[in-house]
């Protein structure tokens, strides 16, 4: 509040000086406080009244104030806090028009300190902003949603297009210290996963020296696909917070491939060892939905949950199993390439067997079960949601010392 009063008093003082008079700060402060606090006169009006009064007393016609001089001091986006009323100048980075009936436009706007989401409400009757253009935005309100700040543009907001050729160079954030909001990072793609939903274009992990984070891009966005082991800079990506976990939505990000950059990155890989105690259904040879981007496993009757009957399915090998390390039961997922080695059977061979044997696909389960159940494995990979996805798997013959440890651990637990 103190800062707010000071800035208006400074505005008045400046205008008094511009009219060739010496401002009396004490008097201006008294008049301003009385008008705004006792009579509830709005700020802009109070400034005008005081300047006019003082000029009249000195027989001067107040000079017309240039629009710039009326503007309250501009803020830097990085310093904004929820519930702040701010005036700032920024460049529109991306827009999505008509997202809903009550919203004219949503987008991302940036100054040289930070980038932030903005929302223009239909009630404001303000036109949408143009991508790549600069604007001065006066009296917008900072709001917060799921830990992420955004700027609300409402009826009381003034928008003026400005000319600026300044480029907005966002500062890169370390992946280990990302907070919810619009952020820019540089990292290496260390993992790509099959999309778990047909709305997802791509999902995986990106890492730098400081950390590792999940990213996703949505089908609707037409984002370019990122390649494994390549380094990218992702400008203006959206760090979403969900259940306390942060992930990057890169759908609308500006993605630059950095061929010339090498990065030592956090690996994030873990190794678990133990005994496979259970093979879950949907293991062995499975059929997948061939619809572009779907890839869901089909039922035995070739039905996809979403796309119904799919007679032109594609085959895949996978193993979903439970590995017990003596303390924890891990849900592990082993994908085709590793399954071929593990089962000692290529995908083509498995298809051949399934199509020529009376048991069909179940024949594969019959063949692989004794190779897996009760066997000890060391698996390296990464946790994804509640699944441990293997990058490598090794059958580890049990040495007797280990056996003693495991037996002891069972003994203690029982
Ligand atoms: Zn499908």
Domain ranges of the chain: 2-70, 77-162, 175-257, 270-409
> Is 371 or 14 the better-scoring residue by pLDDT?
371
The Cβ-side half-sphere exposure at 128, using a 13 Å CA radius, reads 15
Q: Please name the residues in contact with 174: beta carbons below 8 A apart, sequence gap of 6 or more.
A: 185, 208, 209, 210, 211
Cα 313 to ligand 1 centre (Å): 10
Q: What residues have their beta carbon closer than 5 A to ion ligand 1?
A: 289, 291, 294, 296, 304, 306-307
Cα 334 to ligand 1 centre (Å): 21
Task: Check: CB of residue 14 under 8 Å from CB of residue 25.
Answer: no
Cα 291 to ligand 1 centre (Å): 5
CATH T-level fold of 270-409: OB fold (Dihydrolipoamide Acetyltransferase, E2P) (2.40.50)
Cα 393 to ligand 1 centre (Å): 29
> Measured between alpha carbons, how far is 86 from 73 in angstroms, rounded to an integer?
9
CATH T-level fold of 77-162: OB fold (Dihydrolipoamide Acetyltransferase, E2P) (2.40.50)
**Residue 413 banded pLDDT, cuts 50, 70, 90:** very low
Cα 296 to ligand 1 centre (Å): 5
Cα 331 to ligand 1 centre (Å): 24
> Measured between alpha carbons, how far is 131 from 118 in angstroms, rounded to an integer?
13
3-state secondary structure of 147: coil
The Cβ-side half-sphere exposure at 66, using a 13 Å CA radius, reads 4
- Name the least confident of 64-68, 185-189, 358-362: 64-68
Cα 315 to ligand 1 centre (Å): 13
**Residue 156 banded pLDDT, cuts 50, 70, 90:** confident
Class of domain 175-257: mainly beta
Cα 294 to ligand 1 centre (Å): 5
> Measured between alpha carbons, how far is 90 from 134 in angstroms, rounded to an integer?
5
Q: Calculate the alpha carbon distances from 261 to 123, 233, 234 in Å.
A: 47, 10, 14
344: left (phi over 0), alpha (psi -120 to 50) or beta: left
Cα 295 to ligand 1 centre (Å): 6
Cα 107 to ligand 1 centre (Å): 32
3-state secondary structure of 140: strand
First to last CA, the chain: 65
Tell me if 175-257 shares its fold with 270-409. yes
* Closest residue by Cα to residue 68 from 53, 85, 90, 87: 87
Cα 310 to ligand 1 centre (Å): 8
Cα 210 to ligand 1 centre (Å): 38
Cα 206 to ligand 1 centre (Å): 28
Q: What is the pLDDT of residues 319-378, one digit of tens each?
A: 999 999 988 999 999 999 999 999 999 999 999 999 999 999 999 999 999 999 999 999
Return the percent helix, strand and coil in the chain, to nearest 5: 25, 40, 35
Position 409 scores a pLDDT of 63
Q: What is the pLDDT of residues 120-142, one digit of tens each?
A: 999 889 999 999 899 999 989 99
Q: Please name the residues in contact with 164: beta carbons below 8 A apart, sequence gap of 6 or more.
A: 89, 91, 134
> Measured between alpha carbons, how far is 50 from 43 in angstroms, rounded to an integer?
11
Stated pTM of the model:
0.55
């Amino acid at each position: 509040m103190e800062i707010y009063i000071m800035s208006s008093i400074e505005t008045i003082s400046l205008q008094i000086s511009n009219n060739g008079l010496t401002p009396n700060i004490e008097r201006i402060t008294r008049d301003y406080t009385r008008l705004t606090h006792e009579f509830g006169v709005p700020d802009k009006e109070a400034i005008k009244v005081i300047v006019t009064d003082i000029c009249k007393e000195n027989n001067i016609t107040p000079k017309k104030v240039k629009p710039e001089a009326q503007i309250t001091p501009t803020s830097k986006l990085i310093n904004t806090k929820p519930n702040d009323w701010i005036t700032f100048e920024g460049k529109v980075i991306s827009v999505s028009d008509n997202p809903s009936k009550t919203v004219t436009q949503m987008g991302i706007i940036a100054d040289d300190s930070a980038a932030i989401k903005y929302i223009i409400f239909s009630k404001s009757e303000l036109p949408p902003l143009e991508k790549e253009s600069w604007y001065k935005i006066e009296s917008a309100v900072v709001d917060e949603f799921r830990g992420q700040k955004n700027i609300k543009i409402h009826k009381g907001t003034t928008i003026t297009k400005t000319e600026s050729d300044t480029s907005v160079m966002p500062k890169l954030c370390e992946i280990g210290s990302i907070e919810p909001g619009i952020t820019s990072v540089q990292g290496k793609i260390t993992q790509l996963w099959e999309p778990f939903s047909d709305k997802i274009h791509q999902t995986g992990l990106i890492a730098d020296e400081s950390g590792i984070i999940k990213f996703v891009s949505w089908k609707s966005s037409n984002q370019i696909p990122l390649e494994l082991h390549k380094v990218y800079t992702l400008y203006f990506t959206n760090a979403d917070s969900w259940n306390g976990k942060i992930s990057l939505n890169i759908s609308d990000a500006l993605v630059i491939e950095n061929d010339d950059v090498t990065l030592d990155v956090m690996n994030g890989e873990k190794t678990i060892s133990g005994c496979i105690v259970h093979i879950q259904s949907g293991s062995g040879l499975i059929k997948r939905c061939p619809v572009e981007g779907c890839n869901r496993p089909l039922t035995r009757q070739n039905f996809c949950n979403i796309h119904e009957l799919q007679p032109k399915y594609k085959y895949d090998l996978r193993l979903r199993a439970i590995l017990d390390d003596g303390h924890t039961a891990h849900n592990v997922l082993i994908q085709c390439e590793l399954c071929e080695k593990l089962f000692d059977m290529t995908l083509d061979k498995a298809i051949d067997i399934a199509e020529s044997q009376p048991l069909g696909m179940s024949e594969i389960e019959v063949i692989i079960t004794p190779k897996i159940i009760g066997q000890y494995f060391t698996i390296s990979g990464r946790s994804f949601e509640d699944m441990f996805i293997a990058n490598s798997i090794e059958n580890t013959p049990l040495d007797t010392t280990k056996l003693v440890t495991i037996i002891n651990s069972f003994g203690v637990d029982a």
